[in-house]
Amino acid sequence: MRAQRASKPLTVRAAAKINLHLGVGRVREDGFHPLDTVYQAISLHDDLTLSETPEGDSLTVLGSPYVDLRDVPTDASNIALKALAEVSCGVGHDVAISKQIPVAGGMAGGSADAAAALLAHDRLHDLRQPDEVLLSQAARLGSDVPFSLVGGTARGRGRGEVVEPVEDHGGWWWVVVPAAVGLSTPDVYRHFDRLHPDAPETPASAEPLLAALATAEPVRLARVLHNDLQEPAIDLRPELGTLIERGEAEGALRGMVSGSGPTCVFLCDSHEGSMAVFAGLSATYDVVLPALGPVAGAHVVVS
Ligand code: C5P
């Protein structure tokens, strides 16, 4: 019955993530790396609009001018369509994605689209599945997808898919600088393996980061930001090191590579501070985006 009813489109918003702490251990037998990470969702987002159709699945993708859509597949290999293939039983869907999150940027843009598709499907068909069900569907699609559902600030363990919200009393001002050309996450992990063949099995603990988060003091947080993928990312793209130095010279408390990069993020002490860093970096870099964190995980914005 449901398949014959034209359903009203529904739009879900899902945010970009950054990693405030990314401890990476020695590669596991399944090819993934054990992580101890702290994710934060920030105010750059993709919107995914879903409607039911009697035809097969279709996908259109639009993006902000700086988003390079050439690397976003529009066939069944798109992660949003993969998510729908996992959960929908024979019903066709029209999917329209509007992207603000840089592609292959280390900000979980694909994961955000997968999370948005899972939630949109659940709500469009009024399934109202328990969170645990959506989270396990998400984990099958990718390591960062469960966090894209949860949002806020959360610790991630396992390969990143075991997510637990953490105390965060701050409202943090960030400046984001995407790169014109993306980096492949597996390439950056492989380069980490080359640089650190003797990496410990247990990744660097996120505890110091969690303690700083609870103080809500940007200067404290800046001191403990940590990313084990920064070194391999900069080794592959030396210009990221120059960008980080420049942002810190413009007044950021700390600059760092976001996840596997190449996007870099700069923690600032205040709104005014972030505007100064924004203005300083904009003199040289074409795309500079102020952002605030934490923000909500995937949620319905239009139904
Ligand atoms: O889980 P996801 O599909 O996002 O991972 C993409 C790739 O990133 C994996 O195939 C793997 O090469 C690498 N990865 C990893 N360790 C993790 C997460 C991702 O090596 N914890």
Evaluate if residue 5 carries a pLDDT over 60. no
Does the beta carbon of 190 lie inside 6 Å of ligand 1? no
**Residue 294, SS3 per DSSP:** coil
CA distances from 23 to 72, 118, 146, 215 (A): 28, 28, 18, 21
Phi, psi for 85 (deg, rounded to 5)? -65, -35
Q: Which long-range contacts (CB under 8 A, 24 or more apart) does 271-277 make?
A: 271/173, 273/173, 274/173, 274/174, 274/175, 276/250, 276/251, 277/175, 277/247, 277/250, 277/251, 277/252
pLDDT digits over 38-76, tens only?
A: 999 999 999 999 999 988 899 999 999 999 999 899 999
Percent of the chain with pLDDT over 90: 93
- Residue 124 CA to ligand 1 center (angstroms) comes to 30
Q: How far does the centroid of ligand 1 lie from the alpha carbon of residue 186, in Å?
A: 6
Which of these, 193, 186, 263, 178, lies nearest to 26 by C-alpha position? Answer: 193
Whole-number Å distance, alpha carbon 172 to ligand 1 midpoint, is 27
Q: Can you name the residues that pair with 35 across neighbouring β-strands?
A: 24
pLDDT band (50, 70, 90) for residue 88: confident
Give residue limits of the domains in the chain: 10-167, 172-293
Kindly provide the residue ranges of all beta strands, DSSP E only, lying in the chain, ordered along the sequence. 10-24, 35-53, 58-63, 92-99, 153-157, 162-165, 172-177, 226-227, 254-257, 264-268, 289-293, 299-302
Task: Look up the pTM and report it.
Answer: 0.96
Q: What is residue 55's predicted lDDT score, i.e. its pLDDT? A: 87
Q: What spacing in Å lies between the alpha carbon of 14 and ligand 1's midpoint?
A: 20
The answer, yes or no, to whether any atom of ligand 1 lies below 6 A from the CB of 189, is: yes
Residue of minimum CA distance from atom 3 in ligand 1:
142
Q: Is 191 in the pocket of ligand 1 (CB under 6 A)?
A: no
Is ligand 1 within 6 A of the CB of residue 144? Answer: yes
Instruction: Summarize the confidence of residues 160-188 as an average pLDDT.
Output: 96
Atom number of ligand 1 nearest to Cα 111: 4
Write the class of the CATH domain 172-293.
Answer: alpha beta
CATH topology of domain 10-167: Ribosomal Protein S5; domain 2 (3.30.230)
Instruction: Report the interhelical angle of 239-249 vs 271-282 (nearest 10°).
Output: 130
Is the minimum distance from the CB of 143 to ligand 1 under 6 angstroms?
A: yes
